[in-house]
Amino acid sequence: MNGAESLVRTLLASGVDTCFANPGTSEMNFVAALDQVEGMHCILGMAETVVTGCADGYARMAGGPAATLLHCGPGLANGLANVHNARRAYAPMVNIVGDHATYHRPYDTPLTSDIDGLARTASHWVRTSSSSKTVGADAAAAVQAARTAPGQIATLILPADASWSAGGEIAAPLPVPARPAAAPEVVRNIAQVLRSKEPAVLMLSGRALSEAGLLAANRIAHVTGAKLRAPSQVPRMARGRGRVPVDRVPYMLNNALKMLAGTKHVILVGAKPPAQFFAYPGKPSLVSPADAVTHVLARPEQDQVAVLASLADELGAPMNAPIPEVGTQPELPRGKFEPEAFGRALGALLPENCIVAEDAVTSGRSLFAVTYNAAPNDWLQNTGGAIGHGLPCATGAALACPGRKVVCLQADGAGMYTLQALWTQAREKLDVVNVIFANRIYKILQTELLAVGAQPGHVSKELFDLARPELDWVKLAGGMGVEATRVETLEGFADAFKAACRRRGPFLIEFRI
């Protein structure tokens, strides 16, 4: 057995059976091994940032890692932005990056590059297999690293000769370390803080945003009056009717400061201290009040659900604390696009148990508050700020959850980074409704230019404008085998969206706004 075959068999033995790939010559032995070994589901992406974005979406919904197969340093570089986003979501991922044969590297041929250096910038774990004999063991260690809480990026660099040489050995799965338990005194101390009834905010992320986590957090809020909040970007959140409604900290600084004003205790549950996405001259980076005390109830690698339950028990909270009311389902709004009205339309139309993948900073900002009453769903966001996340994330999520409708909410500027994901959706016949917010401008940048105190001039207008020429998303989707339509009103959107939800397979709605 060569190294490549031992790699495939070890990945399968370790429970990794999905591989998003864009291979090259140095990965040919891995590909040949895939031909020989049954059981690995391989999905082709036509650009590596699609490949890694798919792996992110897959991992968030599957709860375990997919592998990616990438070609040398440039292949990894092309995929690194969505690896960055996955790292920020604590999504586990096993990247297999092919390299030249070890003895070939001194010739510094065109594709030679510093893969190890590249990988380290965005991975928790990096290793280069030194020979075919170690490939299996290295792969098992990579999966172990990826599965280690809270979920890590593991990158295994595979020289071509380690891949093609004989002597490969399948390695048994390695044990995954248990999530560290909360220290009882931490729970007791924070219970004490909450009993004081001083204004407190629980900042929830990770598993705390699962249905179970939110229910436990709601018990705490019920007996203490603590506010439940989530970061501006959530990796995955259980939302919709029957779920505990939790507001995110707003992206806009003044709104964030207002939300957290008066808070005396910020209690972190898998989240970081709330900070501004970007710094602005003379403004604070942290958005919690300067005199608030920060407490860590659960670190990202701990089991936030268990810790929240312990705290609720410690506080004597009832098991079935009432879930706050969020009003009734609104009527379907009509007329031109307006963020909040769109959100109300979406809230009325989202299908039961769907997955929402959102990568729309400007158009998406108002969606949360008006969709609490939607059908139950899992909502995924771009956690790392590297735009072009929505389409591939939706694609990977659809592969992880074949029975569920996926709704991708994608800004047009960001969508152009990874439009190739549409082709993978068509190829795999994935059940995704892609909604493109076609405002034909990098709207967020216009806002940010004003935020630094500048006035738009001829260059900035040029650099933010996406309307010359106008993108035609119906043609772009059609060019990749995805049916599409264009709408210009909320009622037009409602009709198109309902029709798209009734059928199966990918569809795209360009909403001209």
Cα 334 to Cα 341, 489, 495, 502, distances in angstroms: 8, 7, 11, 21
For residue 450, what is the enclosing H or E element? helix 443-451
Contact between 369 and a second copy per CB under 8 A: no
Of these, 15, 63, 121, 247, which contacts a second copy (CB under 8 A)?
A: 121
Which of 78, 144 has the CB closer to a second copy? 78
By CB under 8 A, residue 29 contacts a second copy: yes
Distance of closest approach, residue 495 Cβ to a second copy, in angstroms: 23
Cα separation, 203 vs 277, whole angstroms:
16
12 sits near a second copy (criterion: CB under 8 A): no
Q: Binding a second copy by CB under 8 A: which of 11, 16, 311, 480?
A: 480
- Yes or no: say if 177 and 125 are a contact pair by the CB < 8 Å rule: no
DSSP structure class, residue 201:
E
Closer Cβ to a second copy, 157 or 426, answer by number:
426
Q: Is 281 in the site for a second copy (CB under 8 A)?
A: yes
Placement of tokens 């993948």 in the chain: 357
Show contacts with a second copy in window 376-415 (CB under 8 A): 383-386, 388, 413
Site size toward a second copy, by CB under 8 A: 103
Binding segment (CB under 8 A) for a second copy, from list 215-223, 302-310, 370-378, 421-429: 421-429
468 contributes a contact to a second copy by CB under 8 A: yes
Which residue from 249, 471, 494, 508 is in contact with a second copy, where contact means CB under 8 A? 471
Residues with Cβ within 8 Å of 236's Cβ and at least 6 positions away in sequence, in order, are 60, 61, 89, 209, 210, 378, 379, 380
- Site pattern 180..199 for a second copy (x: CB under 8 A): --------------------
C-alpha to C-alpha distance for 436 and 479, rounded to whole angstroms: 16
Task: State the Cα–Cα distance between residues 505 and 295, nearest whole angstrom.
Answer: 46
For the segment 202-261, give every residue that binds a second copy (CB under 8 A). 233
Within 8 A by CB and 6+ apart from 18, the residues are: 40, 41, 43, 58, 62, 66, 67, 399, 400
The 423-462 site mask, x for binding a second copy (CB under 8 A), equals x--xx----------------xx--xx-xx-xxxxxxx-x
d(CA 27, CA 67): 14
Q: Is 161 a residue that touches a second copy (CB under 8 A)?
A: yes
Q: Scanning residues 290 to 349, which ones bind a second copy (CB under 8 A)?
A: none
Q: What phi and psi values does residue 180 have, to the nearest 5 degrees? A: -60, 135
421 near 390, Cβ under 8 Å? no
> Taking the complex as a whole, how short is the minimal distance between the CB of residue 52 and a second copy, in angstroms?
10
